[in-house]
Structure 1
């Protein structure tokens, strides 16, 4: 799908012609409530490991009390649910009206922890709030710069995102290199068996059950884990309901210098949100104008992050793995992720449900993630194929951008000797790859003094051999 610039202002999504086109598209169709709920639960099961692991990482790194940890976990689920509703429904220009699910971001989480470790948790939450406001301020300028993010750049970025996510899924199975449990055989068995269960379900089942193959594979993997004694239900303490508390670390403190790494990263986050909007529209088969619709996604991310900052959370972002589920299952209705958002909110308020979701072993979630994240990589490859890589210059641009973006992903710690701020920025492979591709594309395609080789020409067709006269 190309990032096209309309010759006249794009119509508002709520105008008659555009609204009529949307009403005819499967992304805006309702399904029976019980089916939407099942598909929504499938989305939740795939993404639930991220808010859980994010909160536990914050808790372990910053030595939080169990009460604070429970409060953050509740807030993470509730805000993820509210964000999913906002992105899926798109009220008042907030949200893309696409099947998106939101969660606490990965790279922003690292920056949040770095700021909290150096300046304290109150400054870290203040940095999140400042960054959300910053996104609103710079969004009009960023929208004008979207012409520098054509399909070639977006496709490169999505491939890097997919590879990075596959690595994340693999680490859920194996554990981190150097730790005592790295590559433990039972964990490998559970991860690979979950992949196998998913493949078998997709191959043998039909109709709705086939569309639920990801969830069925995850449930089968969890059942195998229970047989192996790897599922541990935490009885926990407390009652049935648990509501997140406002400002759990106290009143946020605002420090522009401390927030600078997160502010700079937000530019890359907006570029990634643009790419996810494009690839999500590809997954549902809806033709969108990125210059009109990507800002809706970014505004949704920003307003949920703003609220999350007051509940002690890092930046909230749209979830790439759920785009993979949409593509894999073919269920394109955005009301499925509306159902997922309602389920997430319920999990956030119902303490026993959160503990039940938390009982799913990490290797099982990792096995599911490998399949779903692999689909994200394929979507990026499809975008690159449409960008026309028969042009030698475009091939060169993609090659350099992939090398720059994949380096910190495939070789962690490569920038470890650099000062903190440039190290944090360079270690974001998605940001490095996206900006490298955008810069090279602008250099080769928008500057007249740079020579460009011609497109690769197809070899001449062989002339037909004349048949002998009889």
Structure 2
């Protein structure tokens, strides 16, 4: 009898041949390397560490990165998510660590206070990991998007300081500094434009290498420390001394780890989707335990807080190599590199302006990721506007004027001295205040704050007549359509409300749809110019200049509109806000004359829906329909 059929392992658990593991693992290291070493470089320059200290930090960082990546990808007990996730020092911690180090006097003394905070924050992350899933509701996109944007913005001054020669010796008037920084940035941009795949992923590394080579050739980069460094060296626990513990520093670092936990959660979910493996709450807990353990190990082995690196998540998607053992191999490679002090000395020799040019690209990209996250936020809800505006405003204020921290007691200076920390705390606290404390009021659907604002809960409580009177202007003569949208209550958010109008339009009987079409005015017609078609139509058509046509332009448009009505029996309906002006309207209209009646019926509905979308956007942003609606419904108007 044939033996049992061996079940093929999931691609994530597949162990590839050693040559492939080595090549794919090294590729991960290349994509990761620049981001891995930039944190110790930035920190060392900011708190005044020596070149010898920096070399040790770089080696310790790489060594611990390797350990952390193996813990996360291979895993043991309930630690490690067992997905192809590479671990690296989080950028979120850069600004708070600099603030902690400087508040403690800078140099190695500041570093010891940083390590004390890192160790405690890592332990805290490890123990709260099982409960973090319950806290995720306190970190919606309005919080995470604000925090990520703040991180990018707050780090840009650090990059700018490097670009002009370094914070310890800035020379903004030196044209060579400008040339190195902009040249490095240009190489990164050109690599992204000209190449795809692997070459695009190492654009930052190529920019750093080329910029450093040019600087070395011109005599502006030296690597004398390479010759003085040993070939082999092991980072020993507490190499700089025993850690020092500060309550304010610990609180600041715990906040950093909470924010990092949100980033890790997103990376784990994204990776799970890429490799087709379901991610549950326990997987998130495993990933966060690995973050916490790696962070604690980092504090002991002279390194920093760790998180999943998003750059390598993108590499997994790009290469479609899903094996977690590839990442484990990359971890082994990093451990080997971390045992070679000469490698750290080479990296430490990168000129500040070259590093600054690369950092400008990387930190600005972080801000863009935050903006992308904020694009999912419902800004029709004014509470979200307040949260984002306040957190960004305070973060930029502290970043631009860091000396403002001197206005508060010393224990509070670490929080107020970091734009990332104060901005993140503001976003978290305001989200709690506006969305979780007190009676929920719901997002504003229409009107300016304090001026008769209509909120979603009020919309959900409206009777049919009031609802139709409020939202009827979205369409021309379509009260029945708006009434059908009312029947879809309750609305969860403004997007759900918008969708209800669209669905009601497309679900209406054909005769009713045709009646709606007939109610729309001719483009540039007398009804629009005289105001008989309503202010919404006048505003729509004015956006394409159709209310300001000269005699020839009006005659050309009238000819098209007449031909269309004769052929299809309905007015030509075009969402002029999406058209390229009058020429776009004419071009689109002549093309549609060649369609069948059935196709034009569908096209007209789509245009009506697009017009309603624009009107809905204006209503939500600017209008105050509730007062006139109530006046009309009470018979007083």
Query: Is the aligned partner of 1:269 residue 2:256?
Result: yes
Check whether the contact 1:175–1:183 (CA below 8 A) recurs between aligned residues.
Answer: no
The structural deviation recorded for 1:402 is 1.6
Deviations along 1:267-298, one digit per CA (max 9) or x if unpaired, are 31122212322453576583887965554444
Secondary structure of 1:232's counterpart equals coil
Say whether 1:195 aligns with 2:195: no
Q: Secondary structure at the match of 2:89?
A: strand
Partner of 2:36: 47
1:367 — aligned with what?
Answer: 357
For residue 190 of structure 1, report the CA deviation from its aligned partner: 0.9
Q: Any idea what the Cα deviations from partners look like across 1:95-118, whole Å, max 9, x if unmatched? A: 454634323842235425645779
Q: Which 10-residue stretch deviates more, 194-203 or 85-94? A: 85-94
The residue number in structure 2 matching 1:280 is 267
Distance 1:274 1:103, change over 3 A: closer
- Which secondary structure state, in structure 2, belongs to the residue aligned with residue 210 of structure 1? helix
CA separation of 1:328 and 1:141: change in aligned 2, threshold 3 A: closer
1:209 maps to what in 2? Answer: 199
2:382 maps to 1:392: yes
Q: Which segments of 5 or more consecutive residues in structure 2 lack a partner in the other structure?
A: 1-8, 448-470, 477-518, 523-560, 567-637
Aligned to 2:474: 460
Question: Partner residue of 2:556?
Answer: none
Aligned to 1:10: none
1:465, distance to aligned residue in structure 2 (A): 3.0
1:230 aligned residue:
220
1:103 aligned residue: 89
Which residues in structure 2 correspond to 1:142-181 (within 5 Å)? Answer: 143-175=133-165, 179-181=169-171
Q: 1:447 to 1:52 in 2, by over 3 A?
A: closer
Q: CA deviation at 1:264?
A: 1.0
Distance 2:375 2:234 in 1: 47
Q: For structure 1, which segment, 389-398 or 156-165, has the greater mean C-alpha deviation from structure 2 after superposition?
A: 389-398
SS of 1:102's partner is strand
Partner of 1:16 in structure 2?
none
Structure-1 separation of matches of 2:99 and 2:304: 10
Separation (CA, whole Å) in 2 of partners of 1:309 and 1:270? 13
Match among 237, 246, 269 for residue 246 of structure 1: 237
Which protein, 1 or 2, shows the higher relative CO under an 8 Å CA cutoff with sep ≥ 6?
A: 1
In the alignment, what sits opposite 1:84?
A: 69
Task: Kindly state the Cα deviation for residue 126 of structure 1 after the two structures are TM-superposed.
Answer: 4.9
- Find out whether 1:38 has 2:27 as its counterpart: yes
Alignment of 1:186 with 2:242, yes or no, is no
Alpha-carbon deviations, 1:169-220, whole Å to 9, x = none? 2222124568452453212111111111122222223443333333223322
Distance 1:219 1:237, change over 3 A: closer
Q: Normalized against structure 1, the TM-score is what?
A: 0.77
CA distance change for structure 1 residues 123 and 402 in 2, over 3 Å: closer, same or farther? closer
Counterpart CA distance in 2 for 1:371 and 1:94 is: 34
The CA distance in 2 between the partners of 1:120 and 1:155, in whole Å, is 30
- Whether the 8 Å CA contact 1:324–1:372 is kept in 2: the answer is no
Q: Secondary structure at the match of 2:415?
A: helix
1:9 aligns to what?
A: none
Q: For 2:171, what is the secondary structure of its paired residue?
A: coil
Segments of 4+ moved more than 6 angstroms: 116-124, 287-290
RMSD of aligned C-alpha atoms? 3.9
Contact 1:132 1:306 in 2 (8 A): yes
Separation in 1, partners of 2:41, 2:113: 23
Tell me the alpha carbon deviations over residues 335-361 of structure 1, each in whole angstroms, 9 at most, x when there is no partner.
565455334322221122222222222
Q: Displacement, 1:398?
A: 1.6
Task: With the length of structure 2 as denominator, give the TM-score of the two structures.
Answer: 0.59
Deviation (angstroms), 1:396: 2.4
Measure, in 2, the Cα distance between the counterparts of 1:353 and 1:249: 20
Would the aligned equivalents of 1:80 and 1:102 in 2 still touch at CA under 8 Å? Answer: yes
1:433 shift after superposition:
2.3
**Kept after mapping to 1: 8 A contact 2:63/2:339:** yes
Task: Work out whether residues 31 and 201 of structure 2, in 8 Å CA contact, stay in contact via their aligned partners in 1.
Answer: no
SS at match of 2:342: helix
Conserved? CA contact 2:147–2:423, under 8 Å: yes
Relative to 1, partners in 2 of residues 1:47 and 1:174: Cα closer, same or farther, differing over 3 Å? farther
User: What secondary structure, in the 3-state scheme, does the structure 1 residue paired with 2:273 have?
Assistant: coil
Distance 1:303 1:116, change over 3 A: farther
Kindly indicate whether the alpha-carbon contact (under 8 Å) linking 2:223 and 2:345 is maintained by their aligned counterparts in 1: yes
CA deviation after TM superposition for structure 1 residue 152, in Å:
1.6
- Residues of 2 paired with 1:416 and 1:445: CA distance? 32
Instruction: Give yes or no for the alignment of 1:410 onto 2:400.
Output: yes
The worse-fitting range, judged by mean Cα deviation, of 72-81 and 377-386 is: 72-81
Q: How many residues align?
A: 436
Match of 1:74 among 59, 82, 89: 59
Gaps of 5+ in 1: 1-18
Q: Out of 412, 416, 419, which is 1:426 matched to?
A: 416
**Residues 387 and 431 of structure 2 are in contact (CA less than 8 Å); yes or no, is this contact kept in structure 1?**
yes
Does the 8 Å contact 1:405/1:432 carry over to 2? yes
The match for 1:4 is: none
Shift of 1:242: 0.9
Checking the alignment, whether the CA contact within 8 Å between 2:121 and 2:257 is kept in structure 1 is no
